[in-house]
Structure 1
Amino acid sequence: MKQVYLVRHCKAAGQEPDAPLTEAGVRQAEALADFFSGRAVDVILSSPFERAYRSIAPLADRLAVDIVMDDRLTERILSGSNHADWREMLRLTYEDPDLHYEGGESSNAAMSRAASVVSEALNSGRNNMVVVSHGNLISLLLKHFDNRIGFKEWEAMSNPDVFQLTFSSEDKPSIRRIWED
């Protein structure tokens, strides 16, 4: 059996790639490291955005495991410009996964790049992987494995959040949210 732990980053000071964790986010990162104590971790893959890799750095330090940065785990860009109604725009992309706005990425495109990371990790010979990313991308990755997941599940996610995907075969995993606020 293989385990993939999908981790949404801790609370951050913003959405920019270099946005740091807040003070609360730094404490949450330590809590994540505590949460994973006693769990086997063979590899840590992370978005290169600061809020993602800083969220998992305490665990990596404790385990003496390198964090492998992967650009495919960056957050999905909804649109090339800001919109007051971005939440409604996002909701529509769950209903129509090919919908993309100017300067943005469709749900299917984002889902595909995230799924390729997990597929490669599953084929790497490792059994216990931590994948750190962002809320929208993680919800789309979960949707890749269970089409019932959508906007409502994205809205319910916390910072941080952890989902355990258990693969007994290479196809569809069992999915459980294991983080408790």
Structure 2
Amino acid sequence: MTNLYFVRHAHSTYTPDEIGRPLSALGLADAEIITQMLINENINRVISSPYKRAIQTVQGVAEFFGKEIEIVHDFKERTLSDKPLEDFNSAIAKVWADESYSWEGGESNILAQARGVKATMNVLEKYADENIVIGTHGNLMVLIMKHFDKQFGFRFWQELAMPDIYKLTFDKIKLVEVNRVWH
């Protein structure tokens, strides 16, 4: 069995710099809790989105297990639009209601999901039978989960915590079980 621990990043301090946005003080404290929650999980690898907030969220886990963080660009958050949208909530609801819709310069759910699933399949094939932490983002994480189990969708995304951790257990590339680790 392969266990993927998808870690939605902790709270960040807003800056327009999407890639370099750091964790807030609360986010840094939560990242320490994440490390404590995963120290008994025998982690073999730590992978992350290239975004600073995702890296910072899983950095303690990597340090505890003596692992380098492998950056996988396809675990970055979905691009909603290439310019600021007036109402984020209605903008995100629209792309979830119509999976092929995308805002100008943004990714549809279909495109973002395909990118995330491809990255996930690569991890499953490359690191079979390992325990892998993946630092990522809420929207992309749920799109990946939805590919394997249709029960995960917009409402599930709305109820995620920040941070959050879901352990997906696979037999080869077949999802067998999903467990929430964060509480």
Asked if these proteins are the same fold (TM beyond 0.5), I'd say yes
**TM-score band (shorter)?**
over 0.9
AA of the residue aligned to 1:55:
T
Structure 2 counterparts to residues 23-62 of structure 1, below 5 A: 23-62=25-64
CA distance in 2, matches of 1:32, 1:11: 13
Contact 1:145 1:173 in 2 (8 A): no
Contact 2:124 2:172 in 1 (8 A): no
Q: How far off is 1:99 after superposition?
A: 0.9
- Residues 54-105 of structure 1: CA deviation (Å, up to 9, x unaligned): 1111111111011001111111111122222221221222222111111100
Partner of 1:178: 181
Partner of 1:161: 164
Residue correspondences, number: 180
Contact 2:44 2:131 in 1 (8 A): yes
Partner of 1:115: 117
**Which of 102, 111, 135 is the aligned partner of 1:132?**
135
> If the length of structure 1 is used for normalisation, what is the TM-score?
0.94
**Which of 143, 146, 150 is the aligned partner of 2:146?**
143
AA of the residue aligned to 1:33:
T
Q: How far off is 1:115 after superposition?
A: 0.9
Larger deviation: 135-144 or 81-90? 81-90
User: What is the alpha-carbon root mean square deviation over aligned residues?
Assistant: 1.3
Contact 2:7 2:134 in 1 (8 A): yes
CA distance in 2, matches of 1:80, 1:89: 13
Partner of 2:68: 66
Unaligned runs of 5+ in 1: none
Contact 2:125 2:172 in 1 (8 A): no
Unaligned runs of 5+ in 2: none
